[in-house]
Structure formats: C-alpha cells, structure tokens
C-alpha cells in the first residue's frame, strides 16, 4: 500500500473490521470496514452489499480490485452496478476446486459471475490462469498473470535464514527440539484442505524409520476443527508433534525447519512454498494446480500425490535421510526466489499493470 501511494495511487481498503488491522494501516490509507462473513449468510451479505454500494457512490473509484469468494462476488457486482470503470479480480485460488457435488457447482457459478462482472482478471499463477480459461470462467483477453506469478512477490530479506543464525538454539529450545532433531514443518491455516490429516499420518509412519524428528505445526486451527479423530489424538498426545498456533513472525519458525511441507488439496499459488525456499528449505508439496508451479520438482522440492499418505511419507523419509539433497534444494530454491519473485521487482510490475488497465478503460 505504501508503494502504491508513492506511485500516485490514493488507496482505500474495505474489509471486515479488526482493531489490529486498523492500527497497522499507514496514515494515508482510508479504511472502510464492512462486515463480510466467510459463510453463506444471505441477509448479512445483502447488508454488506448495500454498505459497499454506499461507499462506491461516495468515493467514485477509478480502479477496484478484490479477492476471496464472498468479497469478490459482492464487490464485483456492486462495482458493475455503480459503473466503476476498471474492476480487477485478483484470482488467488479457486474455492470450488476443493468442493464436490452441488457445492462445487454453486461455488463455480459464483466464480463465473465474479469474472463476468470484472473487466480484468489477474490469477496468481499461469496454471491457475489456464485452468480458469479451460473451465469457462473467463477468456484469455481479460486474464493476465503478473510476472511469474504470486500475489505479492517474496521479501527475500525478511525470509533469509542468516538473520537467525545466532538464535537457532533458543528457538529450537522454545519448541522442545534438540540441535540434532530434524524438524519437518508446515505454516498454514490448519484444516483438512491443507492436508493436515495426511501430514500427521505420514509423519507418524515416517518417524519409525527416521530417528530424532519433530513435526512442527504453525498456524491457527480451523473452527470447527476438521481433523479426523485419530489425527486430533496424535496432535494432543504425541510428544514429537508440536503445534504453536498463529504466529506473526513465521520466518522465525522456518529458520529452524529442515523440511517444509504443504500437502494442500487446493491452493492459489502456494506462496508459502516460495517463502520456505527463500529460507533455503526443500519443499514437499502436492502435484496440483498452483503448488506445482511454486516449486521445481527435484530441484527446489518434491511433488507428491494429493491426499496420498504413502507418497508424502516416502518424500519425508527420503529428505530426512539425505542432508546433502536438502541443502542443494534449499540453495536452488533461494536462488529461484530472488531471480523470479523478489518483492520490489514484483511491485513495480504490479504498478505498471494497474496503470495499463486503467488507461484501457474510458
């Protein structure tokens, strides 16, 4: 937001209200809280729509950009109604791909509507872009990936393991890991769709063949909890599984990991994989649209079958037993993160894109 302001943009943010977020915003950013919900709540959604309409009527924006299924549908339609000339859908993942039956059809339909009400679409990865076009959500004339993908690029100075070289022992002691433990980790919103059930089971099987290991779970657990009963029991009772909950300084925990995992069922791009690579970690992730674009298989990480415990277990065992391979993949990953996804370069591409699409509209 600061970078946009420095490049001539007057920025207004519309989200559900949280005090911490409100305090974190720069002084020059206007904040207009709207009570969006993540669930299907028709009456509240209608009230949110009316509030958004009133904001759009007052502000008369030149460019509107939005993401997440609920906010994107409401804001794209409201923007169309109010005649905002440039309406950009930030397609950071497709929720319907993780659904089945009527839910898949319903959420796919909402995606189509959001795309129809948008003048431009910016998927966060090339595969996501191709997938959206092939599914009939949009056409190639309105969809464009910025650079090599990702929503915001990677801050390679923040995600630099050498910042923590004198703190590693203390951080490991904090979670109960010794200097020799191999730490396998994940940073995510912890729930079924992130593959936590498979990860816990794969780790428990792998640790029988790998000595001195820890599974580190970083992130808030979904409410209601979507873990299977055996996985809940393992997390609560297995001493080598450590859950530290939501953390702001996630790079601190990446610094003590030896292997990063993201066995997700669906993902926009899997930017956390790039952050782990930037911290010189090998990444194990699922062979699905998005994550398989965020790593290079066998060079910066390993692709495994989605929902497959055995595939995930074998990858964990292989990397645990091959420190040289871990190190080389990590070095390759950081090099790639710097070359293709460095944040300031990505921001410049974003600004150029926004100015271009504004100039294309009346």
The string of pLDDT tens digits covering residues 239-257 is 999 999 999 999 999 999 9
Position 353 scores a pLDDT of 97
175 class by beta-carbon count within 10 Å (0-12 exposed, 13-18 middle, 19+ buried): middle
pLDDT band of 39, cuts 50, 70, 90: confident
CATH topology (fold) of 2-153+343-360: Rossmann fold (3.40.50)
Domains of the chain: which residue ranges?
Answer: 2-153+343-360, 161-341
Q: What is the pLDDT of residues 278-292, one digit of tens each?
A: 999 999 999 998 899
Omega before 224 cis (within 30°)?
Answer: yes
- In the chain, pLDDT over 90 holds for what percent of residues? 92
- Same fold across 2-153+343-360 and 161-341: yes
Q: How many CB atoms lie within 10 A of CB 179?
A: 9
- Rounded distance, CA 235 to CA 228, Å? 11
- Rounded distance, CA 299 to CA 283, Å? 10
Position 38 scores a pLDDT of 81
pLDDT exceeds 90 at position 98: no
Instruction: Characterize the bridge pairing of strands 259-262 and 182-187.
Output: parallel
DSSP, collapsed to helix, strand or coil, labels residue 217 as: strand
Is the pTM above the cut of 0.75? yes
CATH topology (fold) of 161-341: Rossmann fold (3.40.50)
pLDDT band of 80, cuts 50, 70, 90: very high
């Amino acid at each position: 937001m600061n970078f946009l302001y420095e490049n001539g943009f007057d920025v207004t943010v519309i989200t559900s209200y949280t005090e911490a977020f409100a305090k974190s915003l720069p002084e020059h950013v206007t904040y207009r809280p709207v009570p969006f919900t993540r669930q299907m709540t028709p009456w509240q959604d209608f009230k949110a729509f009316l509030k958004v309409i009133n904001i759009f009527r007052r502000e008369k924006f030149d460019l509107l950009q939005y993401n997440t299924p609920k906010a994107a549908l409401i804001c794209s339609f409201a923007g169309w109604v109010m005649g905002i000339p440039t309406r950009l859908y930030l397609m950071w993942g497709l929720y319907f791909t993780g659904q089945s039956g009527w839910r898949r059809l319903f959420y796919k339909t909402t995606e189509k509507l959001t795309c129809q009400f948008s003048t431009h679409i910016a998927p966060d990865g090339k595969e996501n872009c191709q997938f959206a076009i092939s599914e009939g959500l949009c056409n190639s004339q309105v969809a464009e990936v910025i650079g090599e993908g990702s929503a915001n690029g990677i801050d390679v100075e923040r995600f630099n393991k050498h910042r923590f070289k004198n703190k590693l022992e203390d951080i490991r002691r904090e979670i109960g890991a010794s200097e020799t433990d191999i730490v396998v980790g994940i940073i995510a919103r912890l729930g079924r769709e992130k593959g936590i059930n498979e990860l816990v089971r794969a780790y428990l099987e792998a640790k029988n063949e790998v000595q001195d290991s820890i599974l580190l779970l970083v992130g808030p657990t979904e409410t209601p909890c979507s873990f299977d009963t055996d996985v809940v029991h393992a997390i609560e009772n297995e001493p080598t599984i450590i859950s530290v909950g939501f953390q702001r300084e996630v790079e601190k925990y990446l610094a003590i990991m030896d292997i990063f995992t993201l066995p997700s069922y669906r993902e926009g791009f899997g930017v956390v994989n790039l952050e782990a690579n930037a911290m010189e970690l090998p990444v194990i992730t699922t062979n699905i649209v998005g994550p398989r674009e965020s790593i290079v298989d066998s060079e910066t990480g390993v692709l495994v079958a989605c929902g497959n415990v055995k595939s995930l277990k074998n990858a964990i065992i292989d990397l645990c037993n091959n420190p040289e391979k871990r190190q080389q993949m990590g070095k390759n990953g950081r090099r790639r993160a710097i070359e293709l996804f460095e944040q300031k370069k990505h921001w410049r591409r974003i600004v150029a894109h926004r100015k271009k699409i504004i100039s294309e509209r009346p």
